[in-house]
Structure 1
Amino acid sequence: MIACSDIPEYPHSEPVVAPQQSFAYQRDIKPILENRCMACHGCYDAPCQLKLTSADGVKRGASQLQVYDAARLEDMLPTRLGTDAQSEAQWREQGFFSVLHDADEGVASGLDGSLLFRMLELGQRNPLPANSRLPDTIKIGTSHSFSCPTLDTFADYAQANPHGGMPYATTGLSAEQFARLSQWIAEGAVTEPMPWTPSAAEQASITRWENFFNQTGQREQLVSRYLFEHLFVAHIHFPSINGSSFYELVRSSTPPGEPVVPLRTVRPNDAPEQAFFYRLRPLRETLVEKTHITYGLDDQRMQRWQQLFFSDDWNVAVLPGYGYSERANPFATFTSIPAKARYEFMLDTAEYFVRTFIRGPVCRGQVATDVIRDQFWAIFEDPAQEAYVNDPVYRAQVTPLLGLPGQDSDLLSLGSAWLKYSGKRNEYLQQRHAHYSQRKPSGATLDELWDGEGYNQDALLTIFRHHDSASVRKGLWGRVPDTIWVMDYPLLERTYYELVVNFNVFGSLSHQAQTRLYFDLIRNGSEQNFLRFVPAEQRQALYNQWYQGHAQLKDAIAYTDFDHTTPTALTYSKTDLETNRSVLQRFAAQLGERAGAVAGTPDTLNRCAHNNCQRPDLSAEQQQIQTLLQPLAHATGASLPVIKLLPEVSFLRVTNGDQRWVYSLVHNRAHSNVAFMFGEEDRLQPERDDLTIMEGTLGSYPNFSFNVELQALPDFVAALQAAEDSQGLEQVADRWGVRRTHPQFWEILADFRQYVEETDPTQAGLFDINRYQNL
């Protein structure tokens, strides 16, 4: 009876499912898909748009159109599950085809009529040797074109790709799993949605927050719009309620109490074209780490928002519209809301906002991430002193200069739009330099940097770029980086609107190019902000280090000059000024003094001068592990050649009987500059590469993993130290590597997720293996 609750319907009258079902989808089938399939078919770039994380995605099937297409000249129609179509028939009209049934037959046409079965059967028929490297004929990664065969073309596909079955390029299904899926498909492949049964407390929280968002006063409507545009990508939960489900905040044509019918606008600030209500819709799907960006709503949050947005006496003359100018310049759109309240709202959860544009849909692919360093720190100006939120005259002068490009998607607008908005940005930066210099002629002071009010650890963030994706974590991790971002309110808000609110993942080449080019200006502006805190005589040398080679020409053409003359009030000795590295280390020391209360766990693994730092909170085994790993974290590509060969992110599992510890080996590649979207290979400086070793997992896309017993860890480290070329690294992988074909590949991958569930359960989600490499 459970299995028949969602029987597919086809044009013919014949039954399409067996009258009795052997398995229930949620209980018996979804766990197999979750453990074997969703690691590739769960995110924005799931091959062939086949997203298996929900019953709706399984039924929708696949498409031959790719979401990520850098050469697309026009916007494509969006294909968001749960939004852009509400039935299988509507998805078929958009070109999606079933992978469960041969819908044209109208009946259960046997296993041969199921593309899913034939893919699984092909994988069973051609297994790969255990823990072997994949043959060169098997293409992996996101750079190659995916084959998306239909039933009609499957025979040709199978002949050309004998190892093209599913799960693709990994250890396959067990005999029992294959038999269960085959039986389920043969009986009609019936699905049912994930159950959602909120408790009374959870339902009361939903009602309370929907009432808050749907208040009818002018001020309340404007604040709700501002909050929605900042939370639409969030996975919202109620931290005070044990076992709270996750929700998404949507604009629905239906009021609270009725089923949610989301508006189909592409962006959250597009014109709604009809009356709507803000609603919390439950996420009835398996959570994927890449998209699982969390935000908590509780009593403390409600009180904070009331204090921020409604304690001051401000008014709204006329509610802003949703036109071009309103989308392009959120500073003007929300000018009625006190600017300081907006900035403090973002700082309260700064990691969330940085995560939305560092880990969100914009950061996919090398071209998208090529304008940021592999490891750097991000800090913020203190809201008590930040100029934009505290000086109304200055704010009025510069607000017209803070518009953002990317609204026009046609190719002809690329050049003109870019010149317009980059010119305004440079004019704004010149005014900012002049204002700050006049305001503090003696130079920047340490108290201009936000210290998290002594409790908020979002004040200090570390960002890692992993070639074609990126991550962020609270705290200052890794070595003192080559560059540090200082973000004020205009930079933080512009980055969020350009890369999240206004970014259309289905957009054209022109739109994507404008978005990513502006990200380059964001980085440059953040770096120029940081230069205020180093001595004036050292700024040019530091800037030249960031912009070597052809970047000097781009600097002369595209960027505006920074302030060379105004001093800094921070203290530096003559020794500190001898090298760029010593300047950065001295600044880091002073930053630690300013924000030490929110610095969190000290990074003794990566920043320990004499390889003898130990944290008293660690067990004897953990101290042993860190002592063994520290030499790797303190080497460079020049002293340890294997660093240059390692993937961007490798997970390391160290076991000792029933105990296990998890670390991430993060390969930070050095560059002569990151001022361009293309030609990265020519700008690499591998001798300066280094490793950051993190406790736990870092990143949504592990590129490889190692499984090492504690007693063998000295041998593992020694083998890495001895590896001087790819053959040496391959020998390490032979002994300790968890290749895609490893007999325990799926179990070990699941254990990494289990580790996150144990240590930080709110953040746990499936890892994506589309970038898992073939060492």
Structure 2
Amino acid sequence: MRMFRPCMYFVSLFFLLPACQINNTLFSSIAPAPTPIALPAPAENPVSYAEEIRPILEKKCVTCHSCYDAPCQLNLEGAEGLLRGAFRESIYGGARTEAMQPTRLGFDEQTISGWRERGFYSVLHAENKQSEALISSMISLAKQFPFPANSKLPDSIELGISRKNQCASSEKFTDYAHEYPLSGMPFAVTGLSDQEYSLLAGWVKQGAVIPDEPVILTSDEKKVIEEWEMFFNQNENRNKLVARWLFEHLFVASLYFPELEGAPRFFEILRSSTPSGTDIEPIVTVNPNDDPMGPFFYRLRPITGSIVHKRRIPYPLHQEKQQRINALFFNKPWPMGNLPGYSYTERANPFVTFVDIPAYARYQFMLDDAEYFVRTFIHGPVCRGQIATDVIRDHFWTLFQDPESDLFVTNTAYQREAIPLLAMPGQNDNLLKMGKNWLHYLKRHNDYQALRQNQYVSQQPQGASLAHIWDGAGKNKNALLTIFRHHNSASVVGGLVGDIPQTLWLMDYPLLERTYYELVVNFDVFGNVAHQLLTRLYFDVIRNGSEHNFMRLMPAGQREAILHDWYQDLGKLKFGIVYERIDDESPSAEIFTTENPKQELAHRILARFQSVNTMPSDPLNRCQNSNCSRPDEPQWVQSADAALSNLAARPAAGLSGIKQLPEVTFIRVTNEKNERTVYSLLRDRAHSNVAFILGEELRYQPEKDQLTIYPGITGSYPNFIFDVPVAQIGEFVTLLGNAEKMEHFEYIVETWGIRRTHPQFWEILHDFTAWQSERQPLIAGIFDINRYENF
């Protein structure tokens, strides 16, 4: 114990600081409930779950009740979650000392009785004769006390993902209704219509029958599934090793078969104790690289239920992909030892596990679909990304090192020396050993950074150049990505979007693979505080490594000064103590002629990689002339572009309205023909540094905040929506830009805002999904409103 305290002090001092100021939240007293209104009569005609109830749940319930962050774990994406019911324990209990038992639908229990034994309780059936089904009581409470149209909600209603969910049962509902009369369902939003209420109440009264609806696969689907399962389950050891690597990299994907006709159906890959052609019996492990404890087969299972935006990560399986896998992994012979196991070392270090597979094949496979892999750890799949997001900037560009210039790929001797240093923490979640565990892995990481630096100085004496950056062979647009952080969520889009950011990442194979394993394969959303803290701390040094890689392109003698701008104030303390010291002496192969080398290099990147940049000009955010609009769009859209571009890439010091905006604002612009276009207005919060877990508000630099105008949709969790006629877009932009005070912003909200209580709230929210479905059907889905603001 005497040894533990200094280690924990070290962790708190250099990773948790500054945490000295934590404000207490004061809750307003609950106002008396108004007189309840009469309820519509429950439907008496037979009500169909599939045709009448499922659409209501998708429209007005799934927006909050989906994925792991569904309140009270009431997941309404499909029938299984509705039948399972609710649970009082939150998955996101980051401070828990013990890992919780996983509660994954489709895996951890196969029967409703099994979930009842776990503590889940029904929302469809009353617990006793004196009570009603919870879902009936909840929708009745909301229907009796509706909010005035487009009104601001009372302060007594707590919103946001940090709100304490009460998770009342039907037996305790009377007490809940007395204490929280304005907290029926749908929660704090425009409620059910009379018809929707009548159908839902009638269905529950009729017994809440959910008929079995087995997934019927077409003959073409059965054929292609059989082909892919045969491909994944070949018997030769090389095939088994590659199949394991592929499984660990695709297990979170929404797989689809683009060669089949019609709307795509999505599938997941899992391990089953049963072979192809038989019913799937999942091998249940916490992580995909845990020991299956027996023989298994890779199987493809249909993903059922509603499609929600926040967990849709599509990945295509087609003949071209199979040919690409064969070309990368099997065209050239490579020596193969014994198949690896599932020991601590093999789970903590994938470079040990898959050392026999050529590094080029692994890296190039990931580069081919880099946006997918970055989306897995930036976008999801745990649906609340605080572990990943509080270590990154609000806006940055990501580039990748060319495999031919990656020494880990090309230099076998260096690779052998580096592999033991690339193990990642998080497997051991012992609280008492957390500090010692972290220092062990930190030393390995810094030893690797020093080794890497020496190798690159030796092997590339002229320094790094843009020729060392992967250009997607001139056609693959996965080469350039932009990442946006939205506080506790994030999104990734193709191309270099927005103004030139403060920081840029350059990822090589060890960085990309470690990020994927640390945040996806080895991350356990049900883990305890030690596991989650170690994961967060290691991702911090991964980010720093990506920045160091980019710094090799900067001129010698200026790198340290640039990094100090990225790590201001207390962030500087971590250099020399936590982060490996930057190499500020070896040359860069790039020649600079201005006093702002980062800006100069960014413009050079934009020019050099135009062919693989999905937004090579981005006129809304990087306008170079008076016509700040997309030339291929209709004239009315161009006028909206030009108006909104006046908000982009300007610091808050000269655009006061920024400080009133949340992280993600959706804007719908319509013309007189009821045609519409949409934008995402992204607030990029400036920080003095992102080197610490707590005290983020102490590191804000609000006068430096900027807005990025994204023409389309990015982000799964809109914080607010504006609906603006194109004839009024100029006035909207002017007023928003000058909204110095909250009352100025409230006028904008009253005029164009779509509050939670707006009569057309649901129609307009789901129109954004419809708009994306028309243009990007593979990633379109229902948006989450748990973060929707109360302006």
**Could you say which residue in structure 1 is the equivalent of 2:764?**
748
Q: Deviation per CA, 1:103-122: give whole Å up to 9, x if none.
A: x55xxx59x42000000000
Say which of 583, 586, 601 aligns to 2:597. Answer: 583
Q: Deviation per CA, 1:53-81: give whole Å up to 9, x if none.
A: 10000000000011001111011000000
- Equivalent-residue separation in structure 1 for 2:240 and 2:543 (angstroms): 33
**Could you say which residue in structure 2 is the equivalent of 1:6?**
none
Q: Does 1:484 align with 2:500?
A: no
**Could you say which residue in structure 2 is the equivalent of 1:652?**
667
**Could you say which residue in structure 2 is the equivalent of 1:613?**
628
**Could you say which residue in structure 2 is the equivalent of 1:253?**
273
**Could you say which residue in structure 1 is the equivalent of 2:656?**
641
C-alpha deviation, 1:195, in angstroms: 5.1
C-alpha deviation, 1:759, in angstroms: 0.6
Q: Does 1:733 align with 2:749?
A: yes
* Displacement over 6 Å in runs of 4+: none
Letter in structure 1 aligned against 2:400: F
Contact 2:378/2:385 (<8 A) preserved: no
Task: Report the secondary structure of 1:397's partner residue.
Answer: helix
C-alpha deviation, 1:193, in angstroms: 4.9
C-alpha deviation, 1:415, in angstroms: 0.6
**Could you say which residue in structure 2 is the equivalent of 1:714?**
730
C-alpha deviation, 1:191, in angstroms: 1.1
After superposition, where does 1:43-62 map in structure 2 within 5 Å?
43-62=67-86
Q: Does 1:346 align with 2:366?
A: yes
After superposition, where does 1:541-690 map in structure 2 within 5 Å?
541-573=561-593, 576-577=594-595, 582-601=596-615, 602-656=617-671, 657-690=673-706
**Could you say which residue in structure 1 is the equivalent of 2:48?**
24
Unaligned runs of 5+ in 1: 1-17
Q: Deviation per CA, 1:501-525: give whole Å up to 9, x if none.
A: 0000000000000001111001100
**Could you say which residue in structure 1 is the equivalent of 2:528?**
508
C-alpha deviation, 1:361, in angstroms: 4.1
C-alpha deviation, 1:584, in angstroms: 2.1
Q: Does 1:449 align with 2:469?
A: yes
C-alpha deviation, 1:664, in angstroms: 0.5
After superposition, where does 1:319-358 map in structure 2 within 5 Å?
319-358=339-378
C-alpha deviation, 1:315, in angstroms: 3.1
**Could you say which residue in structure 1 is the equivalent of 2:88?**
64
Letter in structure 1 aligned against 2:598: L
C-alpha deviation, 1:366, in angstroms: 4.5
Contact 1:446/1:570 (<8 A) preserved: yes
- Equivalent-residue separation in structure 2 for 1:325 and 1:515 (angstroms): 16
Task: Report the secondary structure of 2:405's partner residue.
Answer: coil
After the TM superposition, which of the residue ranges 88-97 and 636-645 deviates more from structure 2?
Answer: 636-645
* TM-score (normalizing by structure 1): 0.95
Letter in structure 2 aligned against 1:123: A
Say which of 398, 402, 408 aligns to 1:388. Answer: 408
C-alpha deviation, 1:600, in angstroms: 2.0
Letter in structure 1 aligned against 2:619: T
C-alpha deviation, 1:196, in angstroms: 2.5
Letter in structure 2 aligned against 1:187: Q
After the TM superposition, which of the residue ranges 244-253 and 725-734 deviates more from structure 2?
Answer: 725-734
**Could you say which residue in structure 2 is the equivalent of 1:3?**
none
Contact 1:377/1:463 (<8 A) preserved: yes
Contact 1:21/1:187 (<8 A) preserved: no
**Could you say which residue in structure 2 is the equivalent of 1:235?**
254
- Equivalent-residue separation in structure 1 for 2:700 and 2:749 (angstroms): 25
Q: Does 1:283 align with 2:326?
A: no
Task: Report the secondary structure of 2:778's partner residue.
Answer: helix
Letter in structure 2 aligned against 1:702: P
Q: Does 1:474 align with 2:498?
A: no
**Could you say which residue in structure 2 is the equivalent of 1:429?**
449
- Equivalent-residue separation in structure 2 for 1:712 and 1:268 (angstroms): 52
Task: Report the secondary structure of 1:701's partner residue.
Answer: coil
Q: Deviation per CA, 1:725-764: give whole Å up to 9, x if none.
A: 2221111111100010000000001100001100111111
- Equivalent-residue separation in structure 1 for 2:45 and 2:278 (angstroms): 32
Contact 2:560/2:582 (<8 A) preserved: no
- Equivalent-residue separation in structure 2 for 1:345 and 1:556 (angstroms): 35
Say which of 89, 98, 104 aligns to 1:74. Answer: 98
* TM-score (normalizing by structure 2): 0.93
**Could you say which residue in structure 1 is the equivalent of 2:179?**
160
Contact 1:367/1:678 (<8 A) preserved: no
C-alpha deviation, 1:234, in angstroms: 0.4
Letter in structure 2 aligned against 1:757: S
- Equivalent-residue separation in structure 1 for 2:400 and 2:213 (angstroms): 41
**Could you say which residue in structure 2 is the equivalent of 1:8?**
none
After the TM superposition, which of the residue ranges 162-171 and 188-197 deviates more from structure 2?
Answer: 188-197
C-alpha deviation, 1:153, in angstroms: 1.5
- Equivalent-residue separation in structure 2 for 1:361 and 1:761 (angstroms): 19
C-alpha deviation, 1:639, in angstroms: 0.3
Contact 2:397/2:505 (<8 A) preserved: yes
C-alpha deviation, 1:192, in angstroms: 3.1
After superposition, where does 1:296-375 map in structure 2 within 5 Å?
296-361=316-381, 364=384, 366=386, 368-375=388-395
Q: Deviation per CA, 1:312-364: give whole Å up to 9, x if none.
A: 11132200001100000000100000010000010010000000000114572
Letter in structure 1 aligned against 2:152: R
Contact 1:202/1:244 (<8 A) preserved: no
- Equivalent-residue separation in structure 2 for 1:159 and 1:475 (angstroms): 52
Contact 1:238/1:244 (<8 A) preserved: yes
- Equivalent-residue separation in structure 2 for 1:706 and 1:594 (angstroms): 37
Say what the alpha-carbon RMSD is for the aligned residues: 1.4
Task: Report the secondary structure of 1:727's partner residue.
Answer: helix
C-alpha deviation, 1:722, in angstroms: 2.4
Letter in structure 2 aligned against 1:628: A
Contact 2:395/2:483 (<8 A) preserved: yes
Task: Report the secondary structure of 1:558's partner residue.
Answer: coil
- Equivalent-residue separation in structure 2 for 1:361 and 1:157 (angstroms): 32
Q: How many residues align?
A: 746
The 1:748/1:193 distance shift into structure 2, 3 A limit, reads: farther
- Equivalent-residue separation in structure 1 for 2:213 and 2:550 (angstroms): 48
- Equivalent-residue separation in structure 1 for 2:304 and 2:415 (angstroms): 43
Q: Does 1:404 align with 2:424?
A: yes
- Equivalent-residue separation in structure 2 for 1:300 and 1:611 (angstroms): 44
Task: Report the secondary structure of 2:288's partner residue.
Answer: coil
- Equivalent-residue separation in structure 2 for 1:353 and 1:255 (angstroms): 28
**Could you say which residue in structure 2 is the equivalent of 1:11?**
none
After the TM superposition, which of the residue ranges 118-127 and 315-324 deviates more from structure 2?
Answer: 315-324
Q: Deviation per CA, 1:381-433: give whole Å up to 9, x if none.
A: 00111110110000000000000000011211211111111110000001111
Contact 1:240/1:298 (<8 A) preserved: yes
Task: Report the secondary structure of 2:680's partner residue.
Answer: strand
C-alpha deviation, 1:21, in angstroms: 7.2
- Equivalent-residue separation in structure 2 for 1:348 and 1:413 (angstroms): 39
- Equivalent-residue separation in structure 2 for 1:221 and 1:529 (angstroms): 34
C-alpha deviation, 1:258, in angstroms: 1.1
Say which of 745, 748, 769 aligns to 2:785. Answer: 769
The 1:233/1:193 distance shift into structure 2, 3 A limit, reads: farther
Letter in structure 2 aligned against 1:617: D
Contact 1:536/1:566 (<8 A) preserved: yes
- Equivalent-residue separation in structure 1 for 2:353 and 2:597 (angstroms): 40
Contact 2:678/2:768 (<8 A) preserved: yes
Task: Report the secondary structure of 1:536's partner residue.
Answer: coil
- Equivalent-residue separation in structure 1 for 2:631 and 2:146 (angstroms): 48
